[in-house]
Amino acid sequence: MRALVTGATGFIGQALVPALVAAGVEVRGLGRTAPVNCEWRPADLTRVESLRGACADINVVFHLAGIAHTRARGSEHTEVTVAGTRALLTEARRAGVRQFVFVSSIKALCSDDEYARSRRAAEDLVRAAGFPMIALVRPGLVYGPGMKGNLARLLRFAARGWPLPVPRGGALRSLVHRDDLVRVLIALIETSTAPVPYTLTDGRAYTLRAIYDDMRAGFGYGPIVYALPAGFFESIARFGDRVARWTAHPCPWDSQALAPFLQSCFSDDRRVWDDLGFKPHYSLLSAMPELVCAYHEAQRGGSGAQTARSRP
């Protein structure tokens, strides 16, 4: 079995590649920087010519690469996630690849920003590509050691004991540990699936308040006893939206930036777990000792940073 992994050096790819190798799969990484422990092919999704031959002798493609930053320009989402996926699909078909696994996002289910629209468009391309087997996976917010983005920011605040007045209740979020996502991706190899996306979460509903309280507990701090009302963030977001319209530029406190406070993105769909016959290993609370340990190691200079975007 030979697999191609795009985004091999990204947050998910760094865990998927060694797991595939451990499972006896020969891996070719595709990207702009070389991953370790596998064959590497330099390429860029926005340069079609760089993809020539990338899928030769490959049985399954794991397509992880794309713009991960939701506030990137719409043209970037179109150029990388949509046009890049189209180019990769063309090359995979030319090479006779049997299975194509596309890692999308739960935001394709619950949002309508440029990021979500580009993910849905890429999913449609994969469905229409005509491979004997495909798998579309929409993970919730993926976390684990080395994570970046809002969860990493909250973890830093929690480590310092900052009593952020996060609202109680409000928007619900779905999470999934990176290792659970990797287990599912490997289990999907040579599994015939219908072209219906699997939504992958740990099945729990998290509020931002609960996430932050769990993180504070991991560092030995008690729960916060006070909170700002949710309406405070709604007012800030409305003002930020006006500023964005006046200036024609995204505002750092508009509705999109404050979506974690305002917009639910949650699913308790267990179909993927039922179909594969196993359960998620992690909840955020059970993973906290690992996250705390990784945080302290990073503070001592032992952890490398991940980029906000992964684009081969």
Distance in angstroms (rounded) separating the CA atoms of residues 293 and 299 = 10
Q: Is residue 309 part of a domain?
A: no
Q: What is the CATH number of the domain that holds 69?
A: 3.40.50.720
Distance in angstroms (rounded) separating the CA atoms of residues 272 and 218 = 29
Domain region containing 103 = 2-226+252-299
Q: In the predicted model, what is the mean pLDDT of the chain?
A: 87
Q: Is residue 238 part of a domain?
A: no
Q: Is residue 80 part of a domain?
A: yes
Distance in angstroms (rounded) separating the CA atoms of residues 173 and 151 = 12
Q: Does pLDDT of 124 surpass 80?
A: yes
287-310 pLDDT, tens digit each: 999 999 999 999 988 544 443 333
The most confident of the ranges 41-55, 236-250, 254-268 is: 41-55
pLDDT band at 3 (very low <50, low <70, confident <90, very high): very high
131-157 pLDDT, tens digit each: 999 999 999 999 999 998 888 989 999
E strands, 151-294, are 172-173, 175-177, 198-200, 206-207
Report pTM. 0.88
How far lies 119's CA from each of 111, 172, 197, in Å?
A: 11, 21, 12
Q: Is residue 173 part of a domain?
A: yes
Polymer length in residues for the chain: 312
* Sign of the alpha-carbon dihedral angle for 169, 170, 172, 178: negative
The structural domain count of the chain equals 1
Tokens for 224? 């916060």
Q: Is residue 246 part of a domain?
A: no
Q: Is residue 237 part of a domain?
A: no
Q: Is residue 304 part of a domain?
A: no
Q: State the average pLDDT over residues 79-105.
A: 95
Q: Is residue 236 part of a domain?
A: no
E strands, the chain, are 2-6, 26-31, 39-42, 60-63, 99-103, 133-139, 141-143, 172-173, 175-177, 198-200, 206-207
Q: Does pLDDT of 169 surpass 90?
A: no
